[in-house]
């Protein structure tokens, strides 16, 4: 029983009470729909009275009563079906919409560690396909089960009034067929898992192929990689066929065969009773006709077996995603009084690999601190920990003297602007991409931020200006243009803490000049933390922290670090030597 409750809760996306109300209304709707069957049988019985008893006049008054009942049913059917249609559409779609919104709220609370471990194709499959599967299946199953139960109860009552023996004959095959449905569902669990794995693999392959098509074409690998994608799509096709034919069909066909045998049993027993004079011809005909209406919903239910296994798997995936633990929110929130940031013996690792080892480092308010070091030394990890993309595994990070874990996430995010090296723009207008920094910003404020970020001129030169759509990820703009728009977004936000992650590392000289100007406007009177590879661009920083294999190797001004002749001086000399390199 507990297993059924858990299954029902999963398939209804947690809205069990709402679905029970919809189910009750489905049963009432099915009852109204079933009335004409009873009216037609009674009408046939009334019309056959003069035939069964010669000389008896036709009871026209009963015919008029039945006609009135049918007319009332027609009127009731209009209103009931109208309401049920609206309730079903609003109810099922509304539940899915609510759950998707809750999922979105849940996902944005998860740490970046979750996203680094999950495949994008997997998440898109859950959010799109799994929810659609649940919505379609539950809607069909609920209405079908309601129809089965309604007709089952009405048939027992109605048929028992005619002849209990024939009623038992009608229902005798149903208990025999049901076990085959459960056996079929059990066999399909493995195939259902294989199908969803192949669907996830195909979705990931499509995203990877489309996202990397430029690189694939550049290296002449588009055709070869398409064969890999084609293979995953074929695997998905074979899994779907295996689910329907190898797992579901053989066993469910036996159950359907048993149900179809029910009509033959009714005919046989009815014929025996009829020849023995124990059953009237009218009752015999009535049982033959009604048995079809009893068996039809059960036969349809067998066609849902494959959908049942697949949808249960979809529901489990949605439930497991909701069970992912978000970053904890403090029950005793505190607000920082300043923007100075301090790392106290901070350790952090990705999985079992620790990348930061006992970091002690401070970032004074309204100062510029630069993080330098070899790739993989932990520079980006430090900025991600400040923005609380993850929680440190050891030690403590403070902002304004308050532990970062005690600051509400929304408050913390409002204090930080991040400009990444790899800028992502959404498939929307340029104006809306900039407005992300301040959702209630006016057009004039957006234009002002764009001017400070040195991107107003190229935006106005575009065909639709600020209303120009950018492709997904900003694919219609150059790297420098995307970078300047991201800086405009940060300027509009005007947060007191700015994190710059190698914002100029891969730009041409002209764009770099523009972006340096934009960054100068962005960081004025801010607490700034810069990740840089080009040491020549950060010589004037208030302080430079040099990282080596997840530890602070040295810290000081540019002049102090050169005098120390340590790692920073070595990096500086390497870049000076590389700058003099020429093709011979």
Task: Give the span between the Cα atoms of 521 and 537, in whole angstroms.
Answer: 16
Please choose, from the candidates 412, 428, 417, 426, the residue with its C-alpha nearest in 3D space to the C-alpha of residue 453: 417
What torsion, rounded to 10 degrees, do the Cα atoms 46, 50, 53, 56 define? 110
Contacts of 145 (CB under 8 A, 6+ apart): 23, 301
Task: Give the span between the Cα atoms of 366 and 527, in whole angstroms.
Answer: 4
**Within 13 Å of residue 236, how many CA atoms lie on the same side as its CB?**
17
Please choose, from the candidates 495, 574, 489, 566, the residue with its C-alpha nearest in 3D space to the C-alpha of residue 529: 495
With 0.85 as the threshold, say if the pTM is over it: no
Q: Residue 368 forms beta bridges with which residues?
A: 528
370: left (phi over 0), alpha (psi -120 to 50) or beta: beta
Task: Give the span between the Cα atoms of 384 and 391, in whole angstroms.
Answer: 9
Cα separation values, 35 from 4, 41, 75, 519, Å: 32, 10, 12, 75
Task: Give the span between the Cα atoms of 152 and 178, in whole angstroms.
Answer: 14
Please choose, from the candidates 156, 157, 184, the residue with its C-alpha nearest in 3D space to the C-alpha of residue 170: 156
DSSP structure string for 4-46: HHHHHHHHTTT-HHHHHHHHHHHHHHHHHHHHHHHHHHHHHHH
Task: Give the span between the Cα atoms of 418 and 380, in whole angstroms.
Answer: 11
Please choose, from the candidates 105, 33, 42, 61, the residue with its C-alpha nearest in 3D space to the C-alpha of residue 410: 105
The token pair at 556 is 């000081």
DSSP structure string for 154-215: HHHHHHHHH-HHHHHHHHTHHHHHHHHHHHHHHHHHHHHHHHHHHHHHHHHHHHHHHHTHHH
Below-50 pLDDT ranges, the chain: 506, 581, 583-584
pLDDT of residue 462: 86
With beta carbons less than 8 A apart as the criterion, state whether 137 and 304 touch.
Answer: yes
Q: Which structural domains are found in the chain, ordered by start?
A: 2-322 (1.20.1560.10), 358-579 (3.40.50.300)
pLDDT of residue 343: 92
Task: Give the span between the Cα atoms of 196 and 202, in whole angstroms.
Answer: 10
Please choose, from the candidates 437, 451, 433, 443, the residue with its C-alpha nearest in 3D space to the C-alpha of residue 517: 451
pLDDT tens for each residue of 449-460: 888 888 888 889
Contacts of 378 (CB under 8 A, 6+ apart): 355, 356, 359, 547, 549, 550
Please choose, from the candidates 31, 70, 41, 51, the residue with its C-alpha nearest in 3D space to the C-alpha of residue 289: 41
């Amino acid at each position: 029983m507990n297993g059924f409750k858990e299954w029902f809760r999963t398939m209804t996306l947690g809205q069990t009470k709402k679905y029970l109300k919809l189910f009750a209304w489905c049963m009432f709707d099915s009852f109204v729909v079933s009335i004409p069957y009873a009216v037609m049988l009674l009408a046939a019985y009334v019309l056959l009275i003069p035939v069964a008893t010669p000389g008896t006049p036709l009871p026209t008054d009963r015919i008029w009563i039945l006609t009135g009942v049918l007319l009332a049913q027609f009127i009731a059917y209009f209103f009931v079906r109208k309401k049920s249609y609206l309730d079903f559409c609003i109810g099922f779609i509304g539940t899915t919409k609510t759950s998707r919104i809750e999922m979105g709220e849940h996902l944005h609370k998860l740490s970046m560690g979750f996203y680094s471990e999950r495949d994008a194709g997997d998440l898109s499959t859950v959010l799109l396909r799994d929810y659609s599967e649940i919505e379609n299946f539950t809607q069909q199953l609920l209405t079908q089960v309601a129809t089965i139960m309604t007709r089952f109860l009405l048939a027992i009552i109605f048929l028992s009034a005619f002849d209990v023996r024939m009623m038992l004959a009608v229902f005798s095959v149903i208990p025999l067929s049901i076990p085959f449905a459960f056996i079929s569902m059990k066999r399909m669990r493995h195939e259902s898992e294989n199908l969803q794995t192949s669907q996830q693999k195909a979705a990931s392959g499509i995203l990877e192929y489309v996202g990397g098509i430029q690189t694939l074409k550049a290296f002449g690998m588009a055709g070869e990689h398409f064969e890999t994608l084609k293979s995953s799509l074929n695997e998905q096709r074979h899994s779907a066929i295996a689910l329907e034919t190898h797992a579901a069909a053989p066993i469910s066909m036996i159950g359907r065969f048993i149900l179809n045998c029910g009509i033959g049993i009714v005919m046989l027993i009815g014929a025996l009773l009829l020849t023995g004079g124990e059953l009237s011809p009218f009752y015999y005909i009535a049982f033959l006709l009604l048995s079809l209406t009893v068996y039809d919903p059960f036969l349809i239910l067998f066609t849902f077996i494959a959908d049942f296994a697949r949808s249960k798997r979809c529901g489990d995936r949605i439930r497991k995603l909701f069970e992912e633990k978000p970053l904890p929110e403090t029950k005793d929130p505190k607000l920082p009084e300043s923007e100075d940031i301090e790392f106290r013996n901070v350790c952090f690792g990705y999985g079992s690999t620790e990348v930061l080892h006992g970091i002690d480092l401070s970032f004074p308010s309204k100062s510029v601190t630069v993080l330098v070091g070899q790739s993989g030394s932990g520079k980006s990890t430090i900025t991600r920990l400040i923005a609380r993309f993850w929680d440190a595994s050891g030690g403590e990070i403070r902002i304004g003297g308050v532990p970062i874990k005690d600051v509400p996430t929304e408050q913390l995010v409002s204090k930080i602007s991040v400009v990444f090296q790899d800028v992502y723009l959404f498939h929307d207008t340029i104006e809306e991409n900039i407005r992300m920094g301040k959702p209630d910003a006016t057009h004039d404020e957006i234009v002002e931020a764009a001017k400070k970020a040195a991107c107003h001129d190229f935006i106005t030169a575009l065909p639709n200006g600020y209303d120009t759509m950018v492709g997904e990820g900003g694919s219609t703009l150059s790297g420098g243009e995307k970078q300047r728009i991201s800086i405009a977004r940060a300027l509009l936000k005007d947060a007191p803490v700015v994190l710059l992650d190698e914002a100029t590392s891969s730009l041409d000289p002209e764009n770099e000049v523009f972006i340096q100007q934009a960054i100068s406007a962005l960081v004025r009177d801010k607490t700034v933390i810069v990740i840089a590879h080009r040491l020549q661009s950060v010589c004037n920083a208030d302080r430079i922290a040099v990282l080596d294999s997840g530890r602070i190797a040295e810290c000081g001004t540019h002049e102090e670090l050169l005098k120390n002749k340590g790692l920073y001086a070595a990096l500086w000399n390497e870049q000076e030597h590389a700058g003099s390199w020429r093709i011979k």
